[in-house]
């Protein structure tokens, strides 16, 4: 009986050790050092939402790409990756025809393992935005109200452009 209990304990101990080793092998995508600029949008998108990201890189070339964030009533993260070795000097994130309220507690900008987390009032400081985007001081998050008449957007302002330049380009 003692041998059976000891062997079960030993097997459990080995399986826990294997799980711990598996966790160490996984590299979170926001800390990779691979010369890819990423924007992570953490938010609650109650219905699927189309977006377009337009940007001007440090050489003055304009580009854009589009995508969809699937609707979910829980907090989720959408990561948008720029082409390799392309650093934006400015960017504009546009949501089209917002049908349901969107709650965004933070944005994370990452490049070569360095992260810049923009949350709370910093979103208001670093982004110009459309009128239907409000900051909720009680919940410390951005609320995007439904708006069909015009596009809803976040656009980098001079403070964020300077910070990106000094942090990643200079």
Q: What is the 3-state secondary structure (H, E, C) of the chain?
A: CHHHHHHHHHHHHHHHHHHHHHHHHCCCHHHCCCCCCEEEEEEEECCCEEEEEEEEECCCCEEEEEEEECCEEEEEEEEEECCCCCCEEEEEEEECCECCCEEEEEEEEEECCEEEEEECCHHHHHEEECCCEEEECCCCEEEECCECCCCEEEEECHHHHHHHHHHHHC
Please give the residue that has the higher pLDDT: either 51 or 13: 51
What is the predicted pLDDT for the residue at 141?
84
For the chain, what is the radius of gyration of the CA atoms? 21
Mean of all residue pLDDT scores within the chain: 82
Mind listing the domains of the chain with CATH numbers?
Answer: 29-169 (2.60.60)
- What local confidence, expressed as pLDDT, does residue 27 receive? 46
pLDDT in tens, 25-68: 444 555 677 889 999 999 999 999 999 999 999 889 999 999 99
What integer is the mean pLDDT of 115-137? 88
Give me the mean pLDDT over the 93-104 stretch.
88
Average pLDDT over residues 125-150: 84
For residues 115-126, average pLDDT:
89
pLDDT over 60 at 120, yes or no:
yes
pLDDT bucket at 140, cuts 50 / 70 / 90? confident
Provide φ and ψ at 128, rounded to 5°. -80, 145
pTM: 0.74
pLDDT(152) > 70: yes
């Amino acid at each position: 009986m003692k041998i059976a209990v000891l062997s079960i304990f030993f097997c459990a101990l080995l399986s826990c050790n294997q799980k711990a080793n598996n966790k160490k092998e996984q590299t979170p995508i926001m800390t990779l050092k691979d010369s890819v600029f990423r924007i992570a949008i953490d938010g609650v998108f109650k219905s699927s939402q189309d977006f377009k990201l337009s940007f001007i890189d440090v050489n003055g070339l304009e580009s854009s790409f589009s995508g969809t964030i699937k609707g979910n009533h829980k907090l989720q993260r959408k990561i948008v990756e720029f082409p390799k070795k392309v650093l934006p000097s400015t960017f504009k994130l546009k949501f089209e025809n917002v049908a349901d309220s969107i709650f965004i507690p933070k944005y994370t900008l990452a490049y070569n393992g360095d992260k810049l987390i923009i949350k709370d009032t910093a979103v208001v400081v670093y982004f110009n935005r459309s009128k239907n985007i409000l900051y909720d001081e009680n919940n410390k998050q951005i609320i995007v109200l439904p708006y069909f008449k015009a596009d809803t957007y976040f656009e980098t302002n001079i403070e964020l452009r300077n910070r990106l330049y000094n942090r990643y380009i200079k």
